[in-house]
Amino acid sequence: MQQLTEFTSTLTRSDLEAFWMPFTANRQFKDHPRLFVSAKDMHYTTHDGRQVLDGTAGLWCVNAGHCRSQIVEAVQTQVATLDFGPTFQMGHPGAFQLAQRLTEMAPGYDHVFFANSGSEAVDSALKIAIAYHRARGEGTRQRLIGRERGYHGVGFGGISVGGIGTNRKFFGSLLTGVDHLPHTHNLEHNAFSKGQPEWGAHLADELERLVLLHDASNIAAVIVEPVAGSTGVLIPPKGYLERLRSICDKYGILLIFDEVITGFGRLGASFAADYFDVKPDLITVAKGITNGTIPMGAVLVRQGIYDAFMHGPEHAIELFHGYTYSGHPVACAAGLATLKLYQQEGLFQRAHELSDYWEEAVHSLKGLPHVIDTRNLGLVAGIELEPIAGKPAARAFDCFLRCYERGLLIRTTGDIIALSPPLIIEKSHIDELFGLLAEVLKELP
Ligand code: PMP
């Protein structure tokens, strides 16, 4: 703490130079730094000693609120007991326990593959899907289908199936054999929808077109976020996910839900798969799995997928894939403590119960200057602002900076504000959050 205090009280531009910050305008940031030095429950403390209400659960991960003692203690105990153990040809109890707990939370999914982030979980899921078909004698099924405006992390697999131009265009030719479904965002039909919009289920039929074009025998998997988060909270139209599922079933294509943000209660159910009652074949998770405390990702696979790999000689490795830190003991301890806390405090149910109040608060912004859409589901919201002509994303970023100055953390992507608070949020925080946001929106040029 001493070191930290010294660092922040004497902070100069050059202290900030060495760290090449991810997804950040480095030069702008380093001229006007914003540092968090501690956090508790719903709030961060900044380097200049201010409290900031966390409207984004960190980055969609701190679902149980910050620095929860049960998780902190579990991590401390684990790191002092078994700091690291290889999970190649060796094991430790925590990884087995956490995998088992996850399968109990997700009926129908009977095995878990561990990674260290959402990006790694996605790449693992894509590889498992292709290798699964091959293991069943359908090795020509290699094509992958993502969606425009999809975000699946930053691995080459993830940016290939992802549908964000800026995340793709600097990085070469990416994976071959990838197509994209159209996104479902449409303000003309669906602006200011509460919950799932009415219009757009038919957009899933584009998958049929791709099947006709490539033949199902060449297609391995479709990957979508049930609710697209990073591109601005795009809520799936009613019936859309069901339609994707039935087309995948018809043609033997695996359906992957990337639940890195929707997993662990965000929508008021354990997973979006439960909320929508649409069961994909693989589910990728990260973030909330450890309440953001220790990096971790995972792939949950439905019954039968693991079994397809379990042929061949008993001593043979069945899947040539894994990470040094797959199932890291400290991450597993954090995960076990986190899942226990979610259950003990009934946080997913709490999110469900608060979602009507949240919905009203979100839509109370309708009619304020620059607001061209408000949308919500569970404890997620997207507020879309009219872009400034010729300066895309500038208005929302201005809003972000002003909110930060007033003690509120929001996230912006393009000209969309994305909100996803910790699930421990109280109604009074919701009032505060939207009260502050409304004030800032009114003063925005
Ligand atoms: N998939 C989705 C849906 C995400 O929202 C994210 C992160 N925002 C990722 C994957 C990537 O996760 P990570 O940043 O942990 O690699």
Answer whether 116 contacts ligand 1 (Cβ < 6 A): no
Kindly state the tokens that stand for 176.
């071959």
What is the 8-class DSSP label of residue 33? -
Does the pTM of the predicted model rise above 0.95?
Answer: yes
Q: Output the CA torsion 309→312→315→320 (10° steps).
A: -40
Of all atoms in ligand 1, which is nearest to the CA of residue 118?
A: 12
Percent of the chain with pLDDT over 70: 99
User: How many CB atoms are located within 10 Å of the residue 440 CB?
Assistant: 22
Sign of the Cα pseudo-torsion (48, 53, 58, 62, in order): positive
Residue with CA nearest ligand 1 atom 8: 230
DSSP states of 317-347: -S-----TTTT-HHHHHHHHHHHHHHHHTTH
Q: What is the pLDDT of residues 268-319, one digit of tens each?
A: 999 999 999 999 999 999 999 999 999 999 999 999 999 999 998 999 999 9
Please tell me the distance between residue 173's alpha carbon and the centre of ligand 1 in angstroms. Answer: 21
> What sign does the dihedral 37-348-101-301 (CA atoms) show?
negative
Q: Is 257 in the pocket of ligand 1 (CB under 6 A)?
A: no
Q: What is the pLDDT of residue 4?
A: 62
In short, whether 286's Cβ falls inside 6 Å of ligand 1 is yes
370 neighbors 320 (Cβ within 8 angstroms): no
Tens-digit pLDDT profile for residues 136-162:
999 999 999 999 999 999 999 999 999
Q: Taking a C-beta distance cutoff of 8 angstroms, is the pair 300, 122 a contact?
A: no
Q: Which atom of ligand 1 is nearest to the CA of 153?
A: 11
pLDDT at 2: 52
Residue ranges with strand state E in 286-334: 297-302
Residue 413 banded pLDDT, cuts 50, 70, 90: very high
Residue 153: CB within 6 Å of ligand 1? Answer: yes
- The domains located in the chain, with CATH, are 34-64+346-443 (3.90.1150.10), 70-344 (3.40.640.10)
* DSSP category for residue 387: P
Q: Which of the four pLDDT bands, split at 50, 70 and 90, describes residue 1?
A: low
- Residue 52 DSSP label: E
- Closest ligand 1 atom number to CA of residue 158: 10
What is the pairing mode between strands 416-419 and 411-413? antiparallel
